[in-house]
Amino acid sequence: MGSLTPESRPLRVDDVVYFPHDGEVLLHHLDSGQYYRLNAVAGEVWELCEGTLSIADIADRIVEAFEADAEQVVKDVNSLIQELHDEECVVLA
């Protein structure tokens, strides 16, 4: 597994299916059988994990979209992507 940096480009893995549900995003990891529930902001981060945007770029987009505190967003995005990476829901491109 790669090391998380602001330049890392997270990419959703093919073994995770996802769908919106009641303002949240539900993930199902087909290999592990695990389910995850993401709130609206985390769901937006998930959608942006296409392997083309860096973690820093994703945080910038979240700040703009939700008019949120940049410092807190950077921490939250890093934490979420680290967790998704640890759970093998994303890889780092």
In the structure, how many helices (H) and strands (E) does the chain have?
A: 3, 5
How confident is the model at residue 3, as a pLDDT? 84
Whole-prediction pTM value? 0.93
Successive 10-residue mean pLDDT values, the chain, 93 residues: 86 96 96 97 97 98 96 97 97 93
CATH numbers and ranges of domains, the chain: 10-92 (1.10.10.1150)
Single out the residue of 66, 67, 92, 65 nearest to residue 78, CA to CA.
92
Structure tokens at 92: 């780092």
